[in-house]
Amino acid sequence: METEIGAILREARNRRKVELSEVEATIKIRARYLRAMENEEWGALPGGAYARSFVRTYASYLGLDSERLADEVRRSLESPGGERAPRVEPIVTGGPRRAGPRLSRRAWAAIVSIGLVALLVGVGLVGGGDDGSSAPAPVAKQDRGDRAEARSGAVTTQPGVAVRLAASGEVWVCLLDADSRPLIDGQVLAPGAEAGPFRSEGFTVSFGNGEVSMLIDGREAEIAATSSPVGYAIDAGGELQPLTETERPICG
């Protein structure tokens, strides 16, 4: 669908005599996304909601009516002939699941009962004496102590802080660990998708909007309810700090 959004953005930038690289350094949006907006290649942007946020931020930088242009993008993407951004599959965490039939509780109960009967019969055959009065030897206290100590030692405390994400709506996510390595590299999580847990000495994260919940060491963090991009830093103690537009991490 042809609109004038791209031409308006390009002409405004040319009037200000700034290059795309300068805009990128100022508003922290990749030059390739800026070029895509000027060419109205909405499919090259990471999701419809984020496309509107990008246009709003770019238009505001150029001194244009950002809300009007963002609304034009929304109508363009939602129209029957509009170009929709491709959906990125949500991140699936954990190992592969084995396919196969699942046993019901009743079947499990029957299996356990058969096992117990077999165990009791086996103990009676092995432990019984001539007069049938022999009993199995009691477990030594030291053995019980060793088992308890082994159980307590099996749980170890891992260093760092754990973060888990759950999308309540479609949301673009960029998540970096303490070494600035991307854990979620500019992907769109579909509604209901989950990602993590991730563990690091700290994180920085950008969201395309507030349609996400974030658990930090099992505690739900307060994410702003907004349709605009937001960003946060998480330190080794699990403390959450908002980031300004220029401080937010960039992925993609």
pLDDT value at position 81?
52
Say whether pLDDT at 127 is over 70.
no
Give domain status of residue 24, yes or no.
yes
User: Where among 78, 110, 135 does a domain terminate?
Assistant: 78
pLDDT value at position 250?
81
Query: Which range (74-78, 138-142, 180-184) has the least confidence?
Result: 138-142
Please tell me the pTM assigned to this model. 0.45
User: For 226-236, what is the mean pLDDT?
Assistant: 89
Give domain status of residue 86, yes or no.
no
Q: How far is CA 218 from CA 163, 193, 211, in A?
A: 8, 17, 19
Strand ranges inside 97-160, DSSP E: none
Pairwise CA distance, residues 158 & 31, whole Å: 39
Closest CA relative to residue 92, chosen from 190, 194, 13? 194
Count of structural domains, the chain: 2
pLDDT value at position 3?
60
Pairwise CA distance, residues 31 & 178, whole Å: 26
List the domain range (segments joined by +) for residue 62. Answer: 5-78
Pairwise CA distance, residues 65 & 69, whole Å: 6
DSSP 97: P
User: For 176-194, what is the mean pLDDT?
Assistant: 87
* CATH at residue 54: 1.10.260.40
